[in-house]
A = this chain, B = another copy of it.
Amino acid sequence: MKYKMLNLVVVTRTLGVLLLLYSIAIIPPLLISVGYQDGEWPYWLIIWMESVLLGWVMWWPLRRKALDLRRRDGFVIVTLFWFVLGLISAVPFLFMPQLDFSDAVFEAISAFTTTGATVIVGLDLLPPSILFWRQELQWLGGIGMIVTAVAILPTLGIGGMQLYQAEMPGPFKGEKLTPRIAQTARAFWIIYGGMTVVCALAYWLAGMSLFDAVAHSFSTVSTGGFSTHDDNFAYFNSPLIEFIACLFMLLGGMNFSVHYLAIYRGSFDQYWRNEEVRTFLIMVVILITITSTTLFFSTTYADPITALRYAAFQAISVVTNTGFGTATFANWALFLPLLLISFSFVGGCAGSTAGGIKVIRFLLLIKQARREIYRLVPPHIVRSLKFDRRVIPEEVTSAIWGFFSLYILLFVTLVLLLMANGLDQVTAFGAAATCLNNLGPGLGEVAASFTGVSDGTKWLLSFTMIVGRLEVFTAFVLLSRIFWRG
C-alpha cells in the first residue's frame, strides 16, 4: 500500500467538498417534513448538521494545500463518491421502524445508483419527507452518473470510453481534470434540471398531484424507477402519463453530450446523426415490436392497442434501465421476461443515466465480431472499424472486448454467489442482472421487491449496484495490486 499521503489529502478534501454540496440536498426533505408536518424534521435536522460538520472537517484543514487532482486519484474519488454518499444517504432510512441496517443501506444505494430496487412494501403510507428523499436521491445519483460518465470515466479510459474524450462538447475539450469536471457538471446540471422541470410540469398537467409529479420527474429523468406508490405507474392507469414517462425515460437514456450539442447548435438533427442514439432508437423500436406482437399472440392482452401500450412502456423502461412498471413483466409469457432482462444488459447510451454495458459498446462489439469473421474469409481484407465516421483505434476495441468479458464473468460469478446464498436459479439470475445493470425489478422472487432476501444477499447486491454504476472496470482497477504498487 504505497498510495501517497499527498493523494490522501486531495481525496479527503474533494470528498469534503462533495459532502458539503451534498448537505444542501437534505434541505428539501427538511422543508417538506415541516410543511407536511410528518414529524420527521428533527431527524432531517440532525442529518443535515452531521453532513455539514463532517464535510467541513474533511475540507477546512486541507483547503490551502495547492494540489490538483490527478488521473490516478480519479479512480479512488469516483469509487469513494458512490460508496460514501451511498452509505450516508442510508441514515434517514435507519429511523424507519420497519427497516434494519441492511435494508436501509440497500434502499439508499439502490436509489443513489438509480437502480430502483426496493425493500419497502407500503410506500403509499410512508411520511412524505422520506418518500421525497428516496426520489431525490435517484435524481442526485442521476446527475452524478452523467458527470462521472461524461467527464471522469473517459479520462480514466474505462471500457474504451476514451473514445468519448475527443467528442466532448467544444468548450470543454482538452482542459485539465478539475476545471473540466466543474464546467461539464454546470452545463449538464442545467440541461438535466430543465428536463426535470418540464417533465414535472407535464406529469402535473396530465393529472398527477404536484408532489407525485415532482417525485416521479426525479425518478424518470434519472432512469431510477422508484415510485411513491406500491403499484408504481399502474397506480395512475393513464396512457397520457405513460406516454410522458416514455418520452423522458428515452431522453434520460440518451447521451447528454448529444442533448448539449442539440441545444448548443439548436438542431434536432444531432440525435439522428449520432450513431449511438440512432442505434438506441432502432433497438427500442425492434424490442417494442417483438414484445407487443408476442403479448398479443400469447393472448396476454386481448387487443393489439393494449398490447402495444404495455409493451412500449415496459420495453422503454427496461432498455433505459429505468425499471418503472405498469405490469409485472416477470409474469409475461414465453421468453419475454428473459428477453427484457437481456436487453437491460445493453442499457442506454454512454454518458446517460442508464446502466448496463451501453449501446455504443454493444454496437462496437458487433462490428468487431463481424470484422473477425471477415478476417477469416479470403481475401482476408481487414477494414478499419468506424463509428460515427471516425476510425476506432485498436486500443479501444481491446478495451471493449475486455469490458464485455469481465462483465459477463462477473455476472456469472454473482449468480453463483446468490445461489450459494440460497436463491433459486431464475431469482439469482434476475437479481444479479437487475442490480449489475441498475435496472430495478428482477425475476422470480425478486420480480416486485427485494423484501424476501437475506441480509447477506442484500449486502452483496448493494455492492453489485455500485460496481455496476462504476462500470465494473473501475472496481477491478482498484482491486488490482499494481494500482497500489505503482
* Cα of A409 to Cα of B426 in the assembled complex, Å: 19
CB-CB < 8 A to A418: which residues of B? 335
Q: Which 10 pairs show the lowest CB-CB distances between chains A and B?
A: A401-B401, A372-B402, A335-B419, A335-B416, A335-B420, A377-B483, A369-B402, A369-B406, A425-B426, A373-B480
Kindly list chain B residues whose C-beta atoms are within 8 Å of the C-beta of A373. 402, 473, 476-477, 480
How many A residues, CB 8 Å from partner? 58
Q: Would A378 and B334 count as touching, CB distance under 8 A?
A: no
Comparing A50-58, A313-321, A391-399, the segment that makes contact with chain B is A391-399
Which of A32-40, A88-96, A134-142, A337-345 lies on the face that meets chain B? A337-345
CA distance A406 to B71 in the complex (A): 34
Cα–Cα, bound, A96→B191 (Å) = 71
A439 and B415 CA atoms in complex are apart in Å by 21
A450-484 to B contact mask, C-beta < 8 Å, 1/0? 00000000000000000000000100110010110
Question: Oligomeric state, in number of copies?
Answer: 2
Contact in complex: B416, A405 (CB < 8 Å) = no
- Is A342 a contact of B402 with CB atoms below 8 Å? no
A61 interface residue (CB < 8 Å to B): no
Interface centre among A368, A420, A428 (most CB of B within 10 A): A420
Cβ of A122 within 8 Å of any chain B Cβ, yes or no, is no
| A408 within 8 Å of B (CB atoms) | yes
Across the interface, which residues of B come within 8 angstroms of A409, CB to CB?
Answer: 369
Residue of B nearest to A365 (CB): B405
Cα-based distance from A64 to B158 in the complex (angstroms): 60
A193 at the interface (CB under 8 A from B): no
Asked whether, in the complex, the Cβ of A376 is within 8 Å of the Cβ of B477, the reply is yes
**Contact in complex: A377, B480 (CB < 8 Å):** yes
Question: Which one of B71, B157, B377, B428 contacts A486 once the chains associate, using CB atoms below 8 Å?
Answer: B377
Contacts A342-B412, A401-B401 given; does A422 touch B375 at CB 8 Å: no
Central interface residue in A375, A397, A398, by most chain B CB within 10 Å: A398
Contact with B along A405-436 (1 / 0, CB 8 A): 11011001001111110100110110000000
A2 at the interface (CB under 8 A from B): no
Q: Mark A353-391, 1 if CB is under 8 A from B, else 0.
A: 000000000000100111111111111000000000000
Residues of B within 8 Å of A378, CB to CB, are 71-72, 486
Looking at the assembled complex, report how far the CB atom of A2 sits from the nearest CB atom of chain B, in whole angstroms. Answer: 12
> Does A204 reach chain B (CB closer than 8 Å)?
no
A38-75: CB near B (< 8 Å → 1, else 0) gives 00000000000000000000000000000000011000
Max chain B C-beta neighbours (<10 A), residue from A379, A401, A476, A477: A401
In the assembled complex, the Cα of A415 lies from the Cα of B405 at a distance in Å of 19
Q: Is the Cβ of B486 less than 8 Å from the Cβ of A419? A: no
Q: Is A281 an interface residue (CB 8 A)?
A: no
